[in-house]
Structures are given as C-alpha cells and as structure tokens.
Amino acid sequence: MPLIFFAAPTLWPEYRDLLPALLAEAGIAANVVTEAPDPAMVDYIIYAPSAPLQDFTPFTNCKAVLSLWAGVERIVGNATLTQPLCRMVDTGLTEGMVEWVVGHTLRHHLGMDRHIVNPAHVWDPTCPPLARERPVAMLGMGALGTACACALTALNFPVTGYSRTAKDIPGIPTTTDLRSALSGAEIVITLLPKTPETENMLNAESLSWLPRGAVILNPGRGPLIDDAALLAALDTGHVAHATLDVFRAEPLPQDHAFWSHPRVTVTPHIAADTRASGAAKVLVENIRRAQAGEPLLHLVDRGRGY
C-alpha cells in the first residue's frame, strides 16, 4: 500500500475526501497523510511550491513529487529535489486559461472599454475590424499556449505562435524568431514558462518591434516582461494597453505603477487556477502509472526548467 504525503496543508480540505475516493475508484489502496513521521516510508509527495516542505533529502524512497501547480520555477532549482517532478496539467486549468485569454482578446479587439466606460456619452459608431484582420502573437506554444491559439484561430484570428524550440502545430504557423512573431502582431499573449532565457523577454528592444498601438496580455509569468520598459512603452502610446494577470511580486504592491496607469488592467492571478475536481484525477492517474511502471505524465525536464 503506497504512502502518499499531501504536503500542501492549506489545500488539504479541498482534497481530503476527493483524493481517497478517486484512488479507491482506480483500485489503488493507499494511505494519504498530511504528516510524515518517517519520510523514508513515503512513496509519493503531492506538493505546492508554496508549501513549508523545502528539503526533500529525507524522502529517500519517494517515486515522484506531484505538483499541484502548472508553474514549477519555485521548486525546479531545489538541489535537494532529486525525485522525478511532475507539473500539473488538467482540463480545468486549461479551460480557465482559454476563457481568460479569449475574453480579454475579444475585449481589446472589439474596443469594449470605450463602450463600458463612457461618462461623456460619446456616440462613436466606429466598427472594429473583423477577427481575421487582427494578427495575434502567442508567445509560448506549450499545452496552454496551444489551446489558447487554437481557440483564437477558431474565431478567425490569424495567430502566429512563438516557441523557443521548433514545433509543427496544424493550422498555426509557429516560429522560433521572436522578432518575426512580434513585428506584425496587434495583440500579444505571453504564455511562456519562467526560465533564465525567458526573463525580460519583452524588454525595450523587443517591445519596439511591435506595431504602434499593440496590446499585451500576460497571463503567463510576471518576469517575462521588463516592467519599466513596458511602462515607458505605455506612456508613449507605442503599447496601447496591457492586461496583466501575473507579476514579479504578488499580491501586487499597492504603490506599484500598474495600479494607477490608465492603460493597464490588473487582474489578481485568476487566469487559470488548479481546481481540485480535475487536479485530483491527474494525481491519481500519475500514481497509477508509477505503480504500474508506466511513464509519468507531465514530467518536468530539469535542464529546460519546465
């Protein structure tokens, strides 16, 4: 009987009944605990990078660390973590991200803000272009980026994907040249992981490659964007608006310039959240796979950082 250490105490109430029930349904007799008196007896660790556990050295027989978060940048560099690490990819998280991205893309494409907030009662019958006339750049073509790109393509937006490694995705042209992806994009969406190579990827130089009046949506990682460079581009109007869901420091400090800037929308890291109902199924499937000697799902490549 495998011993599962649920090492994310604040999230335990959401999983307390659900996880054992799904394990039983999958035919896995397991003991799920929230304390591990003998770490050497633990077979699996269910983990959130914000959890108190930071030293994995005592868990000498642990087969896998299963993260509840899609992002693993807080844990992937932990030198004590030698066990296989799996990040969370579940349908609920993907659906939430797609809904946020599509919603804010349409908001900016249609110019909804000028109709929703119109204190002067200005009658402006200007129609927006059709979606097929609004180029979009999707920076990051992993599971989330690809799902969002496909959803926007289905609405007739011409989407160009950017990936640091070459990818062949039917119906979505993808490039490894960032300048090429940005140069014609009127809406840019960032869904890259945070790595040393992607930090400050949108900086003064790369922002200058955008056509004047482009819009940026960042539901990916805060450090992908150089904050000072973005503010400067917003001040000049080169970037017309930035809708940001993630930040270098969270919660976003009350005195941060993003809060008061007229061309910035702040959303409080809600674009995609791990929902227990879907995440528990992913956890159980990975435990089943490990017990059966099958490859784990969503295994993190330590060299790439995700």
Task: Indicate if 62 and 191 belong to the same structural domain.
Answer: no
Task: Indicate if 119 and 259 belong to the same structural domain.
Answer: yes
Q: Distance between CA 2 and CA 283 in Å, rounded?
A: 14
Q: Kindly report the CATH number assigned to the domain that includes residue 68.
A: 3.40.50.720
Task: Indicate if 133 and 226 belong to the same structural domain.
Answer: yes
Which one is catalytic: 104, 108, 109, 221? 221
The gap from C-alpha 303 to its chain's centroid, in whole angstroms, comes to 19
Q: Distance between CA 247 and CA 61 in Å, rounded?
A: 36
- Is 269 noted as a catalytic residue in this protein? yes
- Is 221 noted as a catalytic residue in this protein? yes
Task: Indicate if 95 and 152 belong to the same structural domain.
Answer: yes
Task: Indicate if 119 and 172 belong to the same structural domain.
Answer: yes
Supply the angle between the helices 276-292 and 91-110 in degrees, to the nearest 10. 140
Position 303 in a domain: no
Domain count, the chain: 2
Which one is catalytic: 164, 248, 269, 302? 269
Residue 49: predicted pLDDT:
85
Joined together, the tokens standing for residue 294 give 């099958």
Task: Indicate if 100 and 44 belong to the same structural domain.
Answer: no
CB 147 within 8 A of CB 189: no
Position 64 in a domain: yes
Residue 260: predicted pLDDT:
97
Residue 74: predicted pLDDT:
86
Task: Indicate if 195 and 143 belong to the same structural domain.
Answer: yes
Position 213 in a domain: yes
Supply the range of the domain harboring residue 179. 91-266
Task: Indicate if 29 and 59 belong to the same structural domain.
Answer: yes
Position 304 in a domain: no
Task: Indicate if 159 and 212 belong to the same structural domain.
Answer: yes
Question: For every one of its 306 residues, what pLDDT tens digit does the chain have, with 9 covering 90 and above?
Answer: 899 999 999 999 999 999 999 999 999 999 999 999 999 999 999 999 889 999 999 999 999 999 999 888 889 889 999 999 999 998 899 999 999 999 999 999 999 999 999 999 999 999 999 999 999 999 999 999 999 999 999 999 999 999 999 999 999 999 999 999 999 999 999 999 999 999 999 999 999 999 999 999 999 999 999 999 999 999 999 999 999 999 999 999 999 999 999 999 999 999 988 899 999 999 999 999 999 999 999 999 988 888
